[in-house]
Copies of this chain bind each other. A is one copy, B any other.
């Protein structure tokens, strides 16, 4: 039986590189340990010397992705004048959106397990469609100062959905916290639709 011995960090890096290439190509679900070890040119058992499970590998890739993006973004934020907080906020929002778009393929492959992604698209999500109706009617009635109600609906839907998910994830039992988050969400709605 042939055997090579490499520096452990390098072996691990080989496995990570192989996994990243496969995930980018076919997504998390269709990645197999067999393919990872074939690409990294190691035996199947070797994989389990470096990762506890396939799941842990995926988590490691996700963490690395977020860390890389955050590092890039911090560099961008440092270009803003100290003290210009609105400028920093706007830069944070814009560079986050652009960063995700730029790395869309990998991001989707890494995080988007199912194909049913709880889309904010009102065309397929009846829940979001209700929101579009409200925002369009309210804008037509002159109650809301929105230039594009449909886009506004996408934003607010995501604010709601992500925040609900966050509360669930935190397993938040404290009613005060829950109420505070809800109140703040309503505030965001009010301020946003009223314009400036």
Whether the Cβ atoms of B155 and A184 lie closer than 8 Å is yes
A174 CB within 8 Å of chain B: no
Q: Is A69 an interface residue (CB 8 A)?
A: yes
Which residues of chain A (63-122) have a CB below 8 Å from chain B? 63, 66-67, 69-70, 73-74, 77, 83, 85-86, 88-90, 92-94, 96-98, 100-101, 104, 107-108, 111-114, 116-121
CB proximity of A147 to chain B, nearest CB, Å: 7
A143 to B83, CA, bound (A): 9
| Candidates B70, B134, B148, B188; contact of A88 at CB < 8 Å | B134
| Chain B residue contacts of A118, Cβ below 8 A | 111
**Residue picked from A89, A169, A185, most chain B C-beta under 10 Å:** A89
**How does the 8 Å CB contact mask read for A163-196 relative to B, with 1 for contact and 0 for none?**
1111111100000001011101111111111111
A137: chain B residues at CB < 8 Å are 85
